[in-house]
A and B are shown apart, each in its own frame.
Chain A
Amino acid sequence: MDIFLQAMGELTRPYVILLIFGGVSAGLFVGAMPGLTATMALAVLLPFTFTMTPLNGLVSLGAVYMGAIYGGSFAAILVNTPGTPSSIATAFEGYPMAKQGRAMEAIGIATISSAIGGIAGVLFLLFLAPPLAVLSIRFGPAEFFWVAILGLTLIASLSEGSLLKGLLGGTIGIMLGTIGVSPIGGESRFTLGFPVMQGGIEMIVALIGLFVMPELYNMAALARTSLGAVSVSSKEKASFWRVTLKVLSKPGNLVRSCIIGEIVAIIPGAGGNIANLVAYNEAKRASKHPERFGTGTSEGLIATESSNNVTVAGSMVPLLTLGIPGAPPDAVILGVMLLHGLRPGLELFTTSGVLTYAFIISMGLAAIAMVPVGLLGGRLIYRVIFRTPYYFLVPTIGLATIIGTFALRNSMTDVFIMLILGTIGYLLKQIGIMPAPIVLGLILGAIAEVGYVQAILGGMAYRVPQVRLFENPLSWILIGIVVVSAAWPFILILLRRMRSGNKKGGAQ
């Protein structure tokens, strides 16, 4: 118990509080900028942490991470482009709300949900780390494969419109992901002889291209932005108390989304990217009015923004206990820890206990800090964007995306890929193939391939290696979820027919 008190004591120093607020603000800015991501922010911050004490360095990283995942919602809500991949689904509900003039309300909901999610993640980490860590390493190649398949079934329910077109988009994304060196086998695929194509298509580049460029083209076509002016009634609804009440009024949604966020977080390699989509899907399924999703429901927004912030602290469960990064930004944090001689494992919680607990608790404080920073910053950002004429917005966002794309791998080729994918994405959107399934395919295709091939290799001694995919009980659970998820639309139709059948029967 006194480790906790000591840890809290470390955090009351003014410099640390400054770092937390500064980190959250910087993270917010990075996350809100389409083109800059949380992982990038941490990688860039890395050298600066060398001059800091271990605690200060880790606190800064944690704060920036937390802020960045939250910040992604701003771009999603205001410009229909996810600022980070963790906010893809935020755009589904947030942007329609902004178009209706409810942008402030959306930002408010996103803020409170993110804060609650962040705190939930910290609590999971503090109290449930050991059992969650054990669960985390149960995920082997076969399980990764099924998780990826599960992710792909989300395409089915997330497709606004035609299921077939969604699937086509998904397969396009998967094939785009195969370009480059194969993850297993190390051989070049589809590179057309260009050495630079060995690097393939980076997910963020595709995300930016497919989401941002069509929005820019849209603004160019219409010669105006789509942001609706905030009405008086909406401003009232965006007040701190009203928003908090709204978020807390649906505890079931919150709890479910946070749990989903945590489970996805402990799967090594997955993270906010996938968590927000799964949580959104589940919120839609559990809702009494699933048809309203996509028009600006607060339920969907709460689900995505709370789940993705859970992953910040949540994905550190395997990191701190076993040294396994649960999400991409964790790799940077692991690097920093190793550099300062902090080895993950039991001694982190005993010998370096004060440091570790202080770090964990600091992330909770960062989550709380997001509220004032976000609400104030949100108002500011909204006003700036609303007042900026479309003819400046387009090139300025273009500037941010070009820089962000370039800075990712120091590659102008990536910038061209981004522009090309963006233009193609705009055209595809016209014929009904939406960007979200394509990006999902890109992310999940790689995970599915690696899982599948590694599982097969593990089963080389069997007559039919594919059996390996069905060996583990954890696989069975996942397969079950996949089947239910894929069949859900059809189950719904069946249920509706049964219900109307009963009514007829009753009337007789």
Chain B
Amino acid sequence: MKKIVIGSLVLCALLAIVLVGPSGAQNFPNKPINYIISFNPGGESDITARLQQSYLEKALGVTVNVTHKPGGGGAVAWSEFQRTARPDGYTIIGVNIPHIIAQPIERRDAGYTTEGWELLIWFHFTPNALIVQKESSIKTLEDFIALAKSKPKAVTVAGSGSYSANHLEILRFNKLAGIDTTYVPHTGTGPIVPALMGGHVTSTMNYSMVGVQYQDRMRTLAVATDERLEVLPDVPTFKELGYEIVGGAYRGVAVPKGTPPEVIKILTDAFIKTTEQIADKQREMGFEVTTVTGKEAHELVGRMKAGYSDILEDLAKQRQEQ
């Protein structure tokens, strides 16, 4: 009888050591890390994560598993992450601006908050750009504005998603230029390309990447950056032409609130290193590489939120009037 009791106690002790022991922060990381992408495989968030994967693995010394949890424009994964992810650094998630700003405001059941996590880094930025077909009669931004003024609501602007970077940007531009264009949401960047090429929409406010990729069939009227893009040297910025429009989609990574600072530092450093190493490839694909980390990352979110606040208020008012 005694033997059984002692034996079970020893077994419990061993189990406790085995189960609890090695997960201490001292030797982070020592098991695979789960990098969640809240969008479908094959999309831009996914391709970027796969690019980062091998460099992250080298920097961290463990396997990094990229898993997908699409749904609700990212909201499904983000809400579950804030609810259930353990703050031990082994689960990280890709985040996007302006989604994480706009969704909690626009939807009652988004299930997460803009500030409900620790932001590690914003690693790249795709600026918005206004693009038309090469064959279109619209040659410059001024042409576009003139056309829009002469035919209210007739000029259609395709964009990816609702309350997304594309959508909010064109609303801002409408206001600044005093025009009335019709925004036509599409389920992603993919469907926009045939829509524009087939002439089913007049133009698109999409990402500069698309302008770069389809240069021979599309004309980029303007980009929403501070300075002209290297990959599109002949394309003016909205700013140059007198419209204070700078914006686009940022992609970054977050960990749950309460993750130990040492773990955050290790992960952030790994991402900084990775970002530098893939910078050239990213620029080729049309992204602007950034390394906004820690406190600045939170400040960026605050700035973007403030920048979009008047548009978001307008939208809220519109809905109430309905």
Interface, chain A (partner B; CB < 8 A): 43, 46-47, 50, 136-141, 180-181, 183-188, 191, 193-200, 268-269, 318, 322-325, 331-332, 334-335, 338-339, 341, 343, 345-346, 409-411, 450, 454, 457-458, 460-461
Interface size class on chain B is: 35 or more
Give Cα distance in the complex from A480 to B45, angstroms: 41
Q: Which of A188, A410, A450, A457 contacts B182 (CB 8 A)?
A: A457
Q: A188-B107, A457-B156, A461-B154 are in contact. Are A199 and B72 (CB under 8 A)?
A: yes
B30 to A: closest C-beta gap in Å = 23
User: Can you add 8 more A-B contacts, CB < 8 Å, to A185-B185, A198-B73?
Assistant: A47-B53, A136-B194, A137-B198, A188-B72, A195-B80, A324-B197, A411-B76, A460-B153
Q: With a CB–CB cut-off of 8 A, which chain B residues contact A335? A: 41-43, 46-47
Question: Which B residues lie at the A interface, using CB under 8 A?
Answer: 36, 40-43, 46-47, 50-51, 53-54, 66-73, 75-76, 79-80, 106-112, 151-154, 156, 161-164, 182-187, 190-191, 193-195, 197-201, 213-214, 216-217, 284-285
Residue pair B214, A410 in contact (C-beta under 8 Å) = no
Which of chain B's residues has its CB closest to A323's CB?
A: B193
B200: contacting residue among A141, A188, A343, CB under 8 A? A141
Closest 5 CB pairs of A and B: A195-B111, A199-B71, A198-B72, A186-B162, A140-B200
Most buried by B among A140, A181, A334, A411: A181
* Distance of B1 from chain A, by nearest CB (Å): 40
Q: Is the CB of B152 within 8 A of A461?
A: yes
Q: Is the CB of A46 within 8 A of B71?
A: no
A325 touching B50, Cβ below 8 Å: no
Q: Establish whether residues B194 and A181, one from each chain, have CB atoms under 8 Å apart when the complex forms.
A: no
Q: A139-B194, A335-B47 are in contact. Are A186 and B185 (CB under 8 A)?
A: yes
- The residue in A141, A183, A195, A345 that gathers the most chain B C-beta atoms within 10 A of its C-beta is A195
Taking a contact as CB atoms closer than 8 A, the residue among A43, A140, A322, A450 that contacts B193 in the complex is: A322
Task: Identify B42's interface contact among A137, A188, A332, A341, CB under 8 A.
Answer: A332
CA distance A194 to B71 in the complex (A): 13
| A180 CA to B71 CA, complexed, in Å | 9
User: Which chain A residue lies CB-closest to B74?
Assistant: A198
Given A136-B194, A186-B162, CB of A460 within 8 Å of CB of B72 = no
* Set of chain B residues within 8 Å of A185, measured between Cβ atoms: 162, 185
State in angstroms the CA–CA spacing of A138 and B195 once bound together: 9
Q: Would you call B50 and A50 a contact (CB within 8 A)?
A: yes
A138 to B216, CA, bound (A): 19
Q: Name B164's closest neighbour in chain A (CB-CB).
A: A186
Q: Is the CB of A461 within 8 A of B47?
A: no
Chain B nearest CB: distance from A376 CB in Å?
A: 31
Q: Is B186 touching A198 in the complex (CB atoms < 8 A)?
A: no
Interface pair B110/A268, CB less than 8 Å apart: no
> B184 near A458 (CB under 8 angstroms)?
yes
Contact A188 B109, beta carbon cutoff 8 Å: yes
> Which residues in B have their C-beta under 8 angstroms from that of A138?
198
User: Residues of A contacting B54 with CB < 8 Å?
Assistant: 50
A197, closest chain B residue (CB): B109
Nearest-Cβ distance from residue A505 to partner chain B, whole angstroms: 52
* Residues of A close to B41: CB separation below 8 A: 43, 46, 332, 335
18 interchain pairs, CB-CB under 8 A:
A46-B42, A136-B194, A186-B185, A195-B75, A195-B76, A195-B80, A198-B107, A199-B76, A322-B194, A323-B214, A324-B190, A332-B42, A335-B46, A338-B213, A339-B47, A339-B50, A461-B152, A461-B153
Return chain A residues, CB-CB under 8 Å to B194. 136-137, 139, 268, 318, 322, 324
**A454 proximity list for chain B (CB < 8 A):** 184-186
Bound complex: CA A334 to CA B111 (Å): 33
Chain B min CB distance to A23 (Å) = 18
Q: Is the CB of A191 within 8 A of B109?
A: yes
User: In the docked arrangement, what's the CA distance between A324 and B190, Å?
Assistant: 7
Check if A460 sits within 8 Å of B216, measured CB to CB: no
User: What's the minimum C-beta distance from B54 to chain A, rounded to whole angstroms?
Assistant: 8
For B50, the chain A residues whose CB sits under 8 A away are: 46-47, 50, 339
Q: Nearest chain-B residue to A43 (Cβ)?
A: B41
Q: Give chain B residues whose Cβ lies under 8 Å from the Cβ of A409.
A: 68-71, 76
**Cβ–Cβ contact B110 & A198, under 8 A:** yes
Q: Specify which chain A residues have a CB less than 8 angstroms from the CB of B36 in the assembled complex.
A: 410
Cα of A17 to Cα of B106 in the assembled complex, Å? 53
Q: Which residue of A lies closest to B197 (CB)?
A: A137
Contacts A43-B41, A332-B41; is A195 near B106 (CB within 8 Å)?
Answer: no
- Evaluate contact between A345 and B69: CB separation under 8 angstroms: no
B68 A410 Cβ-Cβ under 8 A: yes
Q: A183-B187, A195-B76, A460-B154 are contacts. A323–B162 as well, Cβ < 8 Å? A: no
A47 partner residues in chain B, CB cutoff 8 A? 50, 53, 66
Question: Is there an interface contact between B193 and A181, defined as CB atoms closer than 8 Å?
Answer: no
Q: How far is the CB of B135 from chain A (nearest CB, A)?
A: 12
B34: nearest chain-A partner, CB-CB: A410
Chain B neighbourhood of A187, CB < 8 A: 106-107, 162
Instruction: A78 to B187: give the CA distance in the assembly, Å.
Output: 36
Question: How many angstroms between the C-alpha atoms of A220 and B71 in the bound complex?
Answer: 34
Query: Smallest Cβ distance from B224 to chain A, in angstroms?
Result: 21
Would you call B76 and A198 a contact (CB within 8 A)? Answer: yes
Query: Which B residues are CB-close (under 8 A) to A268?
Result: 191, 194
Query: Which chain B residues border A339 with CB–CB below 8 Å?
Result: 47, 50-51
Residues of chain B within 8 A (CB-CB) of A345 are 216-217
Residues of A within 8 A of B216 (CB): 345-346
Docked complex Cα distance between A43 and B112 (Å):
28
Q: How far is the CB of A419 from chain B (nearest CB, A)?
A: 18
In the assembled complex, which residues on chain A have CB atoms less than 8 Å from the CB atom of B70? 199, 409
Complex CA gap A301/B193 in Å reads 36
**Contacting residues, chain A, for B47 (C-beta < 8 A):** 335, 338-339
B108 touches A188 (CB 8 A): yes
User: Residue B109 contacts which of A137, A186, A193 (CB distance < 8 angstroms)?
Assistant: A193
Distance between A453 CB and nearest chain B CB, rounded to angstroms: 8
Contact B151–A338 (Cβ < 8 Å): no
Smallest CB gap from A343: residue in B: B213
Residue contact A196 to B161, C-beta cutoff 8 Å = no
- Which residues of B have CB within 8 Å of A338? 47, 213, 285
Q: State A181–B185 Cα separation when bound (angstroms).
A: 13
Distance in angstroms between the alpha carbons of A293 and B254 in the assembled complex: 55
| Residue in B40, B161, B201 whose CB lies within 8 Å of A458 | B201
Give min CB distance, A132 to chain B, whole Å: 13
Asked if A322 contacts B197 (CB within 8 A), the reply is yes
Contacts of B66 in A (CB 8 A): 47
The CA-CA distance from A43 to B37 in the complex, in Å, is: 13
List, in ascending order, chain A residues with CB within 8 A of B112's CB. 195
Give the chain A neighbours of B197 by CB distance below 8 A: 137, 322, 324
Cα A188 to Cα B73 in complex, Å, equals 11
**Chain A residues within an 8 Å CB radius of B184:** 454, 457-458
Q: A185-B185, A195-B76 are in contact. Are A458 and B71 (CB under 8 A)?
A: no
Residues of chain A lying within 8 A (CB to CB) of residue B109: 188, 191, 193-195, 197-198
A318 to B111, CA, bound (A): 38
Given A140-B198, A186-B162, CB of A180 within 8 Å of CB of B72: yes
Q: Give Cα A461–Cα B150 distance, bound, in whole angstroms.
A: 12
Residues on B with C-beta less than 8 A from A198 are 71-73, 75-76, 79, 107, 109-111
| Distance from A326 Cβ to chain B, minimum over Cβ atoms (Å) | 10
Min Cβ gap B164→A in Å is: 8
Residues from chain B with Cβ under 8 Å of A196 in the complex: 71, 76, 79-80, 111
Give CA–CA (A9, B216) in the complex, Å. 32
